[in-house]
Amino acid sequence: MQRLYIITLVLLGIGWGGTQPLGKIAASTGHKPFGLILWQLVVCVLVLGGLTLLRGKHLPLNRAALRFYVVVAVLGTLVPNYTFYLSVSHLPAGIMSIIIASIPLIAFPMALALGMDRFSLSRLGGLTLGLAGVGVIALPGAALPDPAMAAWLPVAMVGPLFYAIEATYVARTGIGTMDAIQAMLGASIAGLVLCVPLALATGQWFTPPLPLGRAEWALVASSALHSVLYATYVWLAARAGAVFASQTSYVVTVAGVFWAMVILGERLTGGIWVAAALMIGGLFLVRPRARQI
């Protein structure tokens, strides 16, 4: 069984790493963020809704659940995905894969501030290594092929910041009687309801062409992958523990850089590999404690 868990963890990281270059392809035709997010949520609702129906479950609609759906939709989808699609149009997908690994590094000081975790020198060292990794990316000529791209790094960091806020919110409030698939389905539906008027009001609505083009298929694949992988992650965390499952982050970072090279033909500099090594080292030191299983 242990071997199955390890294989699952590696496959999760490889799959999630592939969503970064797919997201860059999806944004390559000029579709605006809210339009992309809208159709991404449509795919997520279909996949997660199907999984919920197959398991014979329903979606809780009490006040606490509805509040949870809206908060997670805003913190975990609308804001971070909007900034992702803006920044991935200007930054290499490999860089985005490294930046996304900063989520647990940002969540750690939030947990400390709220009294949800305890200080330790090793975890402070991990936070320092992670910040150093981001700093290497920002250094002129160190990692980015064009120094002008550095202006988009703050935009790219908004996503990890909001994901960390979302993770802290979920850890603090819990998900009640829901399982993670139900919670994500509810958040996806709430996000879709909020995104439709935003896409229409900003003129970012688009109707996918038929037959679907390369960018549209990339969006479908990325969204479906995320839904299935998230469900698998929940299964792994329940069976093998949260600490073990969190190690997916290491594989995501390396796999994201690899897929960017294979799918997009990106050629990364030595500075990017240094940044990735620092980030992975930081993740190792700031990993969840065993008591969080």
What are 44-77's pLDDT values in tens digits? 999 999 999 999 998 999 999 999 999 999 998 9
What is the residue-averaged pLDDT of the chain?
Answer: 84
Q: What is the pLDDT of residue 292?
A: 42
**φ/ψ bin of 81: left (φ > 0), alpha (ψ from -120 to 50), beta (otherwise):** alpha
Residue 235, SS3? helix
Give the Cα separation of 80 and 64 in Å (integer). 23
The 3 state secondary structure assigned to 21-40 is HHHHHHCCCCCCHHHHHHHH
Q: What is the pLDDT of residue 143?
A: 67
pLDDT at 177 over 60: yes
Give the dihedral of Cα atoms 281, 157, 97, 111; nearest 10 deg: 50
Q: Express as a percent the part of the chain with pLDDT over 90.
A: 29
Tell me the pLDDT band of 232, cut-offs 50, 70 and 90: confident
Q: What is the pLDDT of residue 213?
A: 87
Give the Cα separation of 16 and 96 in Å (integer). 12
Lowest mean pLDDT among 91-100, 166-175, 203-212, 256-265: 166-175
What are 274-283's pLDDT values in tens digits? 888 887 887 7
For residue 73, give Cα distances in angstroms to 43, 85, 99, 279: 15, 16, 21, 27
Q: Which two tokens stand for residue 130?
A: 């992670």
Q: What is the pLDDT of residue 234?
A: 66
pLDDT at 242 over 60: no
Give the Cα separation of 140 and 274 in Å (integer). 14
Lowest mean pLDDT among 37-41, 80-84, 178-182, 202-206: 178-182
Q: What is the pLDDT of residue 291?
A: 44
Q: Output DSSP code: residue 74.
A: I
What is the model's pTM?
0.85
Give the Cα separation of 220 and 179 in Å (integer). 24
Tell me the pLDDT band of 151, cut-offs 50, 70 and 90: confident
Mean pLDDT calculated for residue range 6-17: 85
Give the Cα separation of 81 and 31 in Å (integer). 13
Q: What is the pLDDT of residue 65?
A: 92
Q: What is the pLDDT of residue 244?
A: 66
Q: What is the pLDDT of residue 226?
A: 83
Tell me the pLDDT band of 8, cut-offs 50, 70 and 90: confident
Q: Decide if 162 contacts 99 (C-beta within 8 A).
A: no
Query: 108 vs 290, which has greater pLDDT?
Result: 108
Q: Express as a percent the part of the chain with pLDDT over 70.
A: 92
